Amino acid sequence: MNKNAKIYIAGHRGMVGSAIWRQLEAEGYNNLIGRSSKELDLRNQQAVEDFFHEVKPAVVIDAAARVGGILANNNYPYQFLMENLQIQNNLIQSSLDVKVDKFIFLGSSCIYPKLAPQPLKEEYLLTGSLEPTNDAYALAKIAGVKACEAIRKQFGKDYVSLMPTNLYGTHDNFDLKTSHVLPAMIRKFHDAKLDNHSSVTLWGSGTPLREFLFVDDMASSVIFALENILPEYLYNVGTGKDLSIKDLALAIQKIVGHKGEIIWDSSKPDGTPRKLMDISKMHALGWKHQVELEEGISRTYGWFLANHDNFKEVKI
C-alpha cells in the first residue's frame, strides 16, 4: 500500500477509529482523512455522496457505528438497527460509486448465532437465531458483511469484513448507561473505591464466558488487511482465549484497587453464554494479537485516570 494513498477513516474519533489513525500515522501513512459527526452526518445519504465525490478516497475504513452495551441495545433497538444501516449503506454505496478499490468493514462477533458451536467460525454466519438483546445491531452488521461480499463477488473489488471480539482500550466509552462490560466495570470499581470501597453490583450471574481484544491489536489487524489482499470476504479477529465475567471482574477489581464486595444481580440478563472466536484464518495469514488482558486493562485504567475528568455522559 502506497503511504501517500488517500485513506478515509469513518469514525476516526471513536475508540477503534482513533487507534487505527494513530497506528497508520506511526507506520508513515500521511494522507489520512477524517470528518467528525458534526462535519459529516453519515446517516445523511446526500451528504455522504457529496463528500465522496469531492474527496475521492482510495481506501475506506468503516469504523463508524452506533454502539453500546446490553442496556443500550435492549432499550433502543430501532436506533441501533436503522442508524447502523444508514451509516454503512451510505459508505458502501458511495465507495462503489467513486470506484474505491479497498474497503474494510468492521463488525462484531454478535453477528453469529447465540447458540453457535464454540469457537465461532466464519461459516457459522446465518446458521441460527441471534442473541435477542443485541439482534438489531447484529442484523445491521450482517447486512454490511453481505453487501461487501456481494460487491466483492459482482465487481471484483477488495472489500473485506473484519469481525472483532469484544473490544476495549484507551478512548473507550465509560458512560454507565451505554458502555460495554469491561469499561463499565472499570468505572464502577473506580467510583466504589473512591466511595470508601463500597459494594459494586454487576449484572447477571458472572458465569458467561467472554473474549476481549485490546483496541491497538484491532487496529493492527486493520493495517494488516490494508497492506495485504485477503483471499476471503470475512475474518474473525480476536485472541482465541476467553474467561468468565466473574474472573474479569476480579481482574479489574485488583487492578483498580477496589477492596469492597461484589454483588451479582441475577435478575439481569447474562446475554450469550459464550462467545469465543475461531481466529485460525487470520493466524494462518500471519496476524496475531500482542497485548494480553492484564496489560490491556492496566493501560485502559491508566488512560481512564488521566482523562475521566473530561468525560461527558452520553445522551440517547
Which residues carry a binding-site annotation?
11-17, 106-109, 141, 164-167, 180, 188, 203, 210, 270
Nearest to 257 by CA among 170, 173, 196: 196
Q: Which of 29, 137, 159, 168 is catalytic?
A: 137
Residue ranges of the binding site for NADP(+): 11-17, 106-109, 141, 164-167, 180
CA count, 13 A, side-chain hemisphere, 239: 19
Peptide bond into 119 cis (omega under 30): yes
Closest residue by Cα to residue 243 from 162, 165, 300: 165
Q: What is the 3-state secondary structure (H, E, C) of 249-287?
A: HHHHHHHHCCCCCEEEECCCCCCCCEECECCHHHHHHCC
**Catalytic residue status for 235:** no
What are the φ/ψ torsions at residue 112 (nearest 5 degrees)?
-85, 155
Nearest partner of 105 among 234, 239, 281, judged by Cα: 234
What's the grid cell of residue 33? 482523512
Dihedrals phi, psi of 69, to nearest 5 degrees: -85, -165
Exposure string for 121-157, b = 16+ CB within 10 A, e = fewer: bbebbeeeebbebbbbbbbbbbbbbebbbebbeeeeb
CA distance 204 to 149: 36
Q: Are 150 and 143 in contact (CB under 8 A)?
A: no
Separation in Å, CA 28 to CA 1, 4, 23, 32:
11, 9, 9, 10
Catalytic residues: 137
